[in-house]
Each structure stands twice: as C-alpha cells, then as structure tokens.
Amino acid sequence: MDEFEMEAGSSDRLDQLNTWVTEYGSDVLNLAYSYVKNYHVAQDITQDVFLRAFTKMQTFRGDSGVKTWLLSITANRCKDYLRSWVVRHETNDLTLQTEAAHQFGDDTEQAAIVRLERDSLWRAVNRLPVKYREVIVLFYQREMSSAEVAQTLDISEATVRTRLHRGRALMRELMEGGERS
C-alpha cells in the first residue's frame, strides 16, 4: 500500500469517526456523565471513547449497532475510571449536576414545576447504585431496548428487566422521602 492509499483510508476512517461523533456524541457524553457526575471528566471519557473507537474501528465486527458498541465502550471506560486511584482520592465536583435547569428560557410557574420534578427525578436516579442507574439511564434517557441495554452492558435481558424493576422501586422509595440503606 503506497502513501496515497494509506492517506485515503485514513481519510475515510476520519469521516466515519466524524459521523459517529455527530450521531452519538451526546449519547456517549450523557452516559459518561450519568456514571461520573462530573461534566469535565465525562468530556474526557467521551474523547477517550471516540479515540478508542477510532483505533479499534477495523476490529468492529458489526455484531451490534455502532451506538451499542460505543455505549459499551463508554460504560467500560467509566467503570475503569470509577475504580481508579484518582476517584478514590479526589472530591466530587457537584457544581454541574443539573444542566436541565437551564433549558427553560421563560421562568413561568409551569416551567419551574416541570424543572423541579425533573431535577427531583434525576437526583433520585443519581442516588441509585451504579448497576441500577446505568440500566435506567440507557433504557429511559437513551431510549434503548432491553436487548440493546443487555448487549451494551454485557448482561442478560432478564438481568436488565430485574435491575429496571428494582431501580424503579428504589427511585419510588427515594422520591417518597424514604432513605436507602
């Protein structure tokens, strides 16, 4: 393969990567944020996910959809990050927890009520253990099927359904004011 052919192949791969970033970038970022709860770290993980996808692009077999593959990389990268030394030895940045609070330009009573309900809901989601939070975020926020969630997290569909059920029950308890032990 001569230099021109290598550059052309690289250009095609970059075009593919740009397409993936455009189509799935917000999904990857939102999933990363749901794990790490720090916008800047989520951005770093997102960049790392797309870098890894770019370097492993040739090995993608197509057994799943690209979105599922990217979100699987994201979930694994987030789990690695959460197990890392850095996380165990730093304080959490909680200043950017509710980006949804800025989505309403008009501060009407109805918008305030909707914002409070949504914030309360996502605070409850963020208080769930990771294994419940990840399936709820993928299923409800990312609108993935239980089969796609199972494939993304490398668990069975039955486990997804069980975690959704238990996660919803814990959220109901948290939102009614009960404390999880």
Domain spanning 1-91: which CATH class is it, in words?
Answer: mainly alpha
List the end-to-end C-alpha distance of the chain, in Å, as a whole number: 61
The string of pLDDT tens digits covering residues 122-165 is 778 888 898 998 898 888 887 888 998 999 888 999 999 999 99
- Going by C-beta distance under 8 Å and a sequence separation of 6 or more, which residues neighbour residue 86? none
pTM of the model: 0.57
Domain spanning 102-181: which CATH class is it, in words?
Answer: mainly alpha
Quick check: 91 pLDDT over 60? Answer: no
Q: How is residue 167 written in tokens?
A: 């996660």
- Kindly state the percentage of the chain with pLDDT values over 90: 33
- The pLDDT, as a whole number, for residue 94 is 37
| Cβ-contact 158, 80 below 8 angstroms | no
Quick check: 8 pLDDT over 70? Answer: no
Q: What are the extents of the domains in the chain?
A: 1-91, 102-181
